[in-house]
């Protein structure tokens, strides 16, 4: 059992999500940064997709009511156990009564706290991932708050692990996303297309698991016909008529009515989870033939360590 002393900015229970229900309007959800989430689970000896806490921007205080192995991965936060700094991406043994605090993300946005055996929440459509707008999954479908008691689901299938050099993702305050064209790419003006790949954008305060409104050079459209609402997937970059792009997140809308200009390649979708308000974002072109190669090599690299992990 773990007691939440302070829920922080926004901390939710997440697993690998409920893909396959977007036609009913149910977003994918799940860990916004699947890679860091998988690494945290790997370190404590869990299967990669067992439910863990996702803490956005810090402020989380937990008290462990039993001795257990934990690991923190993802955003570089100032993390302490009983006032002593600890390193991320490492399995840690905590005793009954130990207090973990996470504050201020120096780089990235979301930290993952995995507990050996996994945490236990409500299941909706086969997933325990929290989706706050509809109150689905997790702890009563909401962010955790002080006084919550989180139960540990069982025992971890493996013992604590360590992460070899080179496997920890390097996060920065400027995120580069590789993209392929999305269906309305050709609606963009020539300058719009050029600006998207040559000028930086910044995530505004309207940045959360649903998506991120960006600020940067105005992206204009050549196409004046109104758009009919059409399906949308996480990682799509939409261009509304006012020209400031919206990047769709893992909890993002299932359909949208703005031009879909770019789509982040699958191997880079995990980076969406590390966009914080104020983060810089640059888009890069990825050639069609390279995207599957990048994904295959990233899967091969991580699957050597974390079986069955999928970006």
Partner 1 sequence: MTQTLPRISAYGDHALQIQYDVDGFSTAINDAVHTLAAQLKTDENWIDIITGYDSLVATFNSTALTIDSAKRKVEDTLIRTPQSASPQTQNRLIDIPVTYGGACGPDMGNICQSSGLNEQAVIEKHAAQIYRVCMMGFLPGFAFLSEVPKALHHPRHANPRAVVPAGSIGIANWQTGIYGLDSPGGWQIIGRTDQVMFDKTRKTPSLIQAGDRIRFIPQ
Q: Which of residues 152 and 248 has its CB atom nearest to partner 1 in the complex?
A: 248
Q: What are phi and psi of 195, to 5 degrees?
A: -60, -40
Q: Which of residues 20 and 97 has its CB atom nearest to partner 1 in the complex?
A: 20
| Least Å from the CB of residue 303 to partner 1 | 10
| Least Å from the CB of residue 243 to partner 1 | 9
Chain CA centroid to CA 169, Å: 13
The structure tokens listed for 7 are: 């829920």
Residues 6+ apart with CB under 8 A from 132: 12, 141, 142, 143, 209, 251
Q: Which of residues 52 and 227 has its CB atom nearest to partner 1 in the complex?
A: 227
Token pair 């509304």 in the structure block, residue: 240
Give the residue among 116, 111, 115 at the shortest CA–CA distance from 79. 111
Distances (CA, A) of 14 to 95, 118, 144, 152, 228: 24, 11, 12, 14, 33
DSSP state of 116: T
Residue 188, CB-side half-sphere exposure with 13 Å CA sphere: 26
- d(Cα 141, Cα 148) in Å, to the nearest integer? 13
Residues 6+ apart with CB under 8 A from 139: 13, 121, 122, 130, 148, 150
Residue numbers at the binding site for partner 1 (CB under 8 A): 19-28, 124, 133-136, 141, 179-183, 206, 210, 226, 228-233, 235-236, 240-242, 253-258, 260, 262-266, 286, 288, 291-292, 295-296, 299, 310
Sign of CA dihedral 192, 194, 195, 196: positive
Residues 6+ apart with CB under 8 A from 164: 305
Q: Which of residues 97 and 126 has its CB atom nearest to partner 1 in the complex?
A: 126
Q: Which of residues 49 and 161 has its CB atom nearest to partner 1 in the complex?
A: 49
Token pair 């006012």 in the structure block, residue: 242
Q: Which of residues 28 and 49 has its CB atom nearest to partner 1 in the complex?
A: 28
| Least Å from the CB of residue 23 to partner 1 | 5
Q: Are 223 and 239 in contact (CB under 8 A)?
A: no
The structure tokens listed for 291 are: 């995207």
Q: Which of residues 1 and 134 has its CB atom nearest to partner 1 in the complex?
A: 134
Q: Which of residues 79 and 141 has its CB atom nearest to partner 1 in the complex?
A: 141
């Amino acid at each position: 059992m773990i007691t939440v002393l302070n829920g922080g900015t926004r901390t939710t229970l997440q697993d690998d999500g409920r893909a396959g229900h977007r036609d009913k309007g149910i977003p994918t959800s799940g860990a916004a940064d699947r890679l860091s989430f998988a690494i945290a689970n790997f370190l404590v000896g869990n299967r990669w997709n067992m439910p863990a806490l996702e803490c956005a921007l810090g402020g989380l205080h937990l008290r462990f009511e039993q001795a257990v192995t934990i690991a923190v991965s993802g955003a570089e936060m100032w993390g302490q156990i009983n006032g002593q700094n600890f390193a991320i991406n490492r399995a840690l043994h905590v005793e009954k009564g130990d207090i973990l605090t996470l504050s201020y993300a120096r780089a990235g946005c979301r930290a993952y706290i995995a507990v050996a055996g996994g945490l236990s929440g409500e299941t909706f459509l086969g997933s325990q991932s929290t989706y706050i707008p509809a109150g689905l999954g997790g702890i009563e479908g909401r962010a955790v708050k002080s006084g919550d008691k989180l139960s540990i689901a069982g025992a971890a299938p493996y013992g604590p692990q360590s992460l070899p050099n080179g496997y920890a993702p390097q996060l920065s305050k400027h995120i580069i996303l590789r993209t392929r064209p999305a269906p309305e790419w050709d609606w963009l003006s020539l300058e719009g297309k050029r600006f998207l790949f040559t000028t930086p954008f910044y995530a505004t305060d309207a940045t959360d698991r649903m998506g991120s409104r960006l600020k940067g050079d105005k992206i204009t459209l050549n196409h004046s016909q109104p758009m009919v609402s059409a399906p949308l997937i996480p990682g799509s970059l939409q261009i509304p008529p006012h020209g400031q792009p919206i990047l769709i997140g893992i909890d993002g809308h299932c359909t949208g009515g703005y031009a879909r200009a770019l789509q982040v390649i699958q191997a880079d979708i995990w980076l969406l989870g590390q966009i914080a308000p104020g983060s810089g974002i640059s888009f890069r072109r990825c050639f069609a033939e390279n995207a599957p190669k990048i994904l295959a090599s990233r899967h091969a690299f991580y699957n050597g360590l974390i079986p069955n992990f999928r970006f």
